[in-house]
Structure 1
Amino acid sequence: MNTQPEISDGKSIAITSYILVVGALIALSMNAENKNKFAAFHIRQAIGLSITFIGLGSIISYFPDPRILFPMWIFISILWTYGIVTAVKGQTIPVPLLGKFYQKLFKSI
């Protein structure tokens, strides 16, 4: 899918995208001029994870019980870690459960 030079050129942008919402926005602007498919893949994943985190966090914040908060943090942390690891390895594997949905939802990025 992606060539080795394309992965090398986009790796720093891809990794930056996983630094919460700010990193995704910075990566989006870094990738705006010279489109890199590898970086765009990870930007879509990171934006999706950020929106999921904010959405789940805003809903779950009404229930301050740690038995509800802790699983959400674990779930998001695992997905974020998975995304970062695949970016570092130079792979374009969607995050489990939601990754393919993020790719479809943000296909214009």
Structure 2
Amino acid sequence: MNNKTLSILSYITIIGWIVAFVKSKDLTPKSDLVSYHLKQGFGIFLVSLVINIALSIVVTIVPALYFLSYVGYVILILWIFGIINAVNEQKKPIPVIGKIFEDKFGFID
């Protein structure tokens, strides 16, 4: 797989991320592009996991706050931005939350 494919795959579910992570270890010259998108993809996965768990607890306790479930659409839009950046082979952070993950997750490098 080439760098562009691995970058895109790093956003497609956690299974796609694992495949991209394992395949990126096999690349002889390490790709900064793939590492960058692996970090961004893992970061957005963690954010969506935490937000979804928190929102399901909040909505279970206070059903009147069901409108907060629309936050999931915001995460979907951010995820699409990440895929667009990977398709264009750009190392741009995901809006709002992307800068947080640029220097995190040292195990990916």
Alpha-carbon distance between aligned partners in 2 of 1:75 and 1:63, rounded to the nearest angstrom:
18
Larger Rg: 2
1:13 is aligned to 6
TM-score (ref. length: structure 1): 0.84
Secondary structure (helix, strand or coil) at the match of 2:2 reads helix
Question: Share of identical aligned residues, percent?
Answer: 27
Measured after TM superposition, the shift of residue 108 of structure 1 is: 4.0
- 1:32-78 per-residue CA deviation (whole Å, 9 max, x = no partner) reads 121211111101000000011111111111133431111x2122111
Q: Which runs of 5+ in 2 are unaligned?
A: 60-64
Give the Cα–Cα distance (whole angstroms) in 1 for the partners of residues 2 and 10 of structure 2: 14
User: SS at the partner of 1:31?
Assistant: helix
Unaligned residue ranges in structure 1 (runs of 5+): 1-7
Matched residue SS, 1:95: coil
TM-score, normalising length: structure 2: 0.84
Alignment of structure 1 residues 60-79 onto 2, 5 Å: 60-64=55-59, 65-70=65-70, 72-79=71-78
Deviation >6 Å, runs of 4+: none
The whole-number CA distance in structure 2 between the counterparts of 1:20 and 1:60 is: 20
Q: What does residue 95 of structure 1 align with?
A: 94
Q: CA RMSD in A?
A: 1.6
Tell me whether 1:27 sits opposite 2:20 in the alignment.
yes
